[in-house]
Structure 1
């Protein structure tokens, strides 16, 4: 269980850093290069965050370490925290809102992981 908390902490730090990088790139390059509006990036970000939540549920269920070699859909090898971080980075409109949104989404992700850990631990004890 202690190993799972290390993964969650490292994942939270990863998600924070990735979200700040994604936010910066979205504002500096994304709108100009893609021609998408900021509102479009918000929808893409929400979608990516939800996809990351699905990945985190699968990673927790399979008890995968932070770095694992399973290739996910589309050929990516990024874990759920990276996907959620990119999604979070696309949602904010200012640096202040980005930090708050990212911290809230980190709390949501960690809460889901802790709930899933507890659920699968109880399920394994019953069997």
Structure 2
């Protein structure tokens, strides 16, 4: 592993947790967008001065969709995972599905290796490469 692709242990663990939570992240993105589009945002200006958001409801919604920090962060994580996943060959996609996206998660690396007819060390190497690629895509180290 070269110095350019080395990432911190905490970053590695964080990206792995994001892989496990990918489908929940997609659901949260949809929920936040629906809240902005159809619900009353919880950050309305109550009793204060004038709002800095446009008076036009369409412009206000567009502004909220593009400036919502949590939504922006979740979308960045999800699109990074998606773009890396889509570029993977089928065997690595299957490994991601078995390890991170199968519910309930009962498989060990050894069990996945047996199911995929490959070695555990190969799967770990693939995982490390995938996590590092996602980290680089997101600009994390």
Give the structure-2-normalised TM-score.
0.31
TM-score (normalizing by structure 1): 0.34
Which has more helix, going by share of residues? Answer: 1
